[in-house]
Structures are given as C-alpha cells and as structure tokens.
Amino acid sequence: MNPPEDVLAELRELRAGDLPTHGGRTLAYVYDSGLSEVDTLGAAAHALASSANGLDPTAFPSLLRLENDLVSAASSLLGDVPGVVGSVTSGGTESCLLAVLAARDAHPSIESPSIVLPTTAHAAFHKAAHLFGVRRIDVPVDPVTFRADPAAMAAAIDDSTILLVASAPSYAHGVLDPIEPIAAAAAARGVRMHVDACIGGWVLPYFAKLGAEVPPFDFRVPGVTSISVDLHKYAYCPKGTSVLLHASAELRRSHYFASAAWPGYTMLNTTIQSTRSGGPLAAAWAVTRHLGSEGYLSLAASTREAVARIRSGIADLPGLRILGDPISTLLAFTASDDGFDLFTVADEMKVRGWYVQPQFAFAGSPVNLHLTVTAANHGSEKEFLTDLAASVDAARAAGPVTVDPAVAEFVAALDPATLTSEQFAGLLAAAGLGGASGLPDRMAPINALLATAPAPLRERLLLEFLGALYTP
C-alpha cells in the first residue's frame, strides 16, 4: 500500500502543472471568490456528504432538504414567482440538456421536434439536440450587438418547435439577449422558452441591486418557462452543481425518469445521473448559506468594479476592441487592426502568467479573446492591463502568424466524413497536436491552422486529438 501522505504528495505534484484555480490569473473555466474560508467550507461540506447518494431521497433525506433549499434560493433570486420548482444537476450542460428533454417529451406527438436558438447559444444545446434527436434551427444574431434577433426567432417558429432558447448572458460575448420579446413570441405560439442564465443567473440580480441596468430576464417575464443557473460559476461553489428551474411542476415532469421494468429497485431519477454524490450538493448548500445575499452582493460589487476597470482599460488600448455591449462579468475583445495576431497575444499573456481564452471566428463573430472575470480579479486589474498592453506590443513585434498557404489549402479540402483515424493522426502530428508529448508552449501556430479549418473539420480534428490525449 502507498501511504496516504505519499499519494497526496503525488497528487499535489500533478496539480501543480495545472492552470491556477485561484488568484484571478485564469480568466476562463474557474471562478474564484478570493475568500479562502469559502473554499475550506466547501471542501469540508463536500467531504461530509460525498458518500451519500441522491438516488434515493427517502434514504438520504438530508440531501432532499439541501436540494429543496438550493432550488428555493435560486427561485427567490430569479423572480421569486410562486409555483417555480427545480432540480439540482451536475452542471450547466446537464441543466440545458434537461430543459430540451423536458420540452421534447412534453410533445411525443411531434415527429421531428426542433428548437429555435440564436447562433450565440451555448454549445450545450447542440449537444442536447444531438443526444435527443432534436433539430436545431440556428438563428443569426445582430452582427453588431451579437444579441439574439427576436423577430427572426419568432419567424423561425413552426409546428415542430418545442423550445426557444436565449442567453442571460451569452458565454462568448457576455451580452444579454432580449428576453422579453423572445418569450412573448414563444408564449404567443404556446411554445416553451428557456433562459440560459447558467453563467449570469447568480450575478446579474446582484448587479441590478447595485444599480446596473439589467433588462428583465427571469420568471417575471411572461412566457419564460425554464431557467438554468450554475452554482459552480458565480455562486462560487465547488464544481458539480447547477440548478434547472421550471415555472411549474407540470413543465418539469417530463424530464423525470422512472423504470420499474426490471428486477431491481424502481429507478427514479430527476436528472441524467442516477447515483448522485451528495458532495457537490452539500458543498453548494454550505457555500450559499455562508455567503448569503450580503456576501454575494459584496462579491458582485468587487466583480463589477473589476470588469468595468478591465473593460475601460481594454477600450483605451490601441489595437483592441470590445465586442458588443457586455453587461455582466464576461468580456470578449478582438483586434481592431491587422498589425498583430490575437492568438500570439494569448500566448504572450501565458508567458506573463495569465490564461485568456481564444475564440475562433464564427457566424459574424471575429477571432477574439474571452475573459471570465471574477471577484478574485479585483485589485489586479492594473497588472492585467499592463501585461495585456505588453503582450500586444510583443505580438506586434513578432509579426503575423502565417499558415503555409499550401497547408491551409490542403486542410480546407479535407472531408471529415471520409478521413480515417490514421490520416487524422498524421495531420495532428503535422499540426503539432501529436498527443502524448503534450501541448507546445506556444499555441498561436496551431490555433492559426485550426482557424483555417471549417467548423466540422475542426471538431473532428480536435476529437481525434482528445482521443489521443485520453489514451493511457
């Protein structure tokens, strides 16, 4: 047997190679309150309940109570409208999946159901459509504001529509879709309307309390039938919890699942999972209970200040331009001249100890860098902006990243549907994504090459890459 302290030391060493989850230097994937007691409390609560199983609420009534408390807290924050019910899920994607599943299974008579969503909706809805055999009607957004176009979405509704989706805000640009007219269009046709507030739902209400102008997006808007809000984002809870709210128990019922048609226990599930660890649930309950409205208001105030400082600093930096009018905690900025390469800026930021997330051009949205700003960014905005300015200068000095036109032409002509895994392996190696050797420090040449590939080819290339990574 390996002594526990050795095993933990090994784990610590492995974790040391990861992006930092605390300190505000990783501006995607992680959410840091900057309060160490929040992490300690979350970990302790997680440990207390991690072996309890949410599969059977009658066996573990504590978990039932925790879940009802969390749903009630989310519901109070998002309109405080009577009749709202919900489920705690493992994350934003699961909440979005269940919203689509509930809508689909409420209409078994629709042969080829479809969802109407803006092109900026989170890819979780693409996954839902893929898994549940639902057609996606992607509706272009306004090319300047990147907000959903309510008239175009209304026009896309037909007899097969089971759900409309809008974001509060969108992940890519952090802009709020016009929820009211979209919900009105859905209601007029008797169609469900989901507000994806996975990333904004726990912070926008506090921004509003602090005086920000936040157009209505919650259950007070007539026609909104479900809302997702992630606790592992701006509720600053450990990973593994989101809440999916439905306006009524009737609307929620169709994502529940039961099977008594086997010799074991009657399987009764509220979510995709069956066995559900009590750990993330207890951690989220403890963190939200500890912070309360007062704690979240104070975290929102710091975050709001940090995001405003970063935004105005970027606006003042020659060569950079914020996309749209982000109202929340997320920013996306692009290059306003072609004297430098944005992927190189991301690499240069990495050299300076910051992770910023490259986003490829898509449907009118240019190549850009995404920032998820959290409370932990408060206080280091100046340092961030100084390093960003230096990174842009370094990228200008380095000059553009060029993809050999012959390679670009070759890649563009590839058909992901007919290429074999072996051919992809060769291509990945040529692109510097050879797998086991890990990623190179500088991603700009790889990103530049990937940017030349049409989305379906990029998907396939990166899936092959993923497969290579997950090979023991």
Ligand X SMILES: Cc1ncc(COP(=O)(O)O)c(C=O)c1O
Sort residue 190 into left (φ over 0), alpha (ψ -120 to 50) or beta. left
Least Cβ distance, residue 198 to ligand X (angstroms): 3
Q: CA 367 to CA 370: how far, in whole Å?
A: 10
Closer CB to ligand X, residue 93 or residue 271?
A: 93
Judged by beta carbon, residue 66 or residue 98, the one nearer ligand X is 98
Instruction: Report, in Å, the least distance between residue 280 CB and ligand X.
Output: 11
Q: How far is the CB of 119 from ligand X (least distance, A)?
A: 14
Q: Which is nearer to ligand X, 101 or 395 (CB)?
A: 101
Q: How far is the CB of 95 from ligand X (least distance, A)?
A: 8
**CB 392 within 8 Å of CB 319:** yes
Is 46 or 442 the residue whose CB approaches ligand X more closely?
A: 46
User: Which residues make up the interface to ligand X (CB under 6 A)?
Assistant: 91-93, 96, 122, 124, 167, 171, 196, 198-199, 230, 242
Question: Whole-number minimum distance, CB 442 to ligand X, in Å?
Answer: 26
The answer, yes or no, to whether the previous bond of 169 is cis (omega within 30 of 0) is yes
Nearest CB to ligand X, comparing residues 344 and 372: 372
Nearer to ligand X, 93 or 374 (CB): 93
**Least distance in angstroms from the C-beta of 377 to ligand X:** 17
- Comparison of 198 and 431: residue with beta carbon closer to ligand X: 198
Distance CA 417, CA 409 (A): 18
Shortest CB 90 distance to ligand X, Å:
8
The CB-nearest residue to ligand X is 92
Output the smallest distance, CB 171 to ligand X, in A: 4
Residue closer to ligand X by CB (options 300, 444) is 300
Using a 10 angstrom Cβ sphere, with 0-12 exposed, 13-18 middle and 19 or more buried, the burial of residue 235 is buried
Contacts of 85 (CB under 8 A, 6+ apart): 71, 245, 246, 248, 249, 252
The amino acid at residue 263 is P
- Helix 278-316 vs helix 61-77: crossing angle, to nearest 10: 30
| Residues sharing a CB contact under 8 Å with residue 385, sequence separation 6 or more, in sequence order | 309, 310, 313, 314, 317
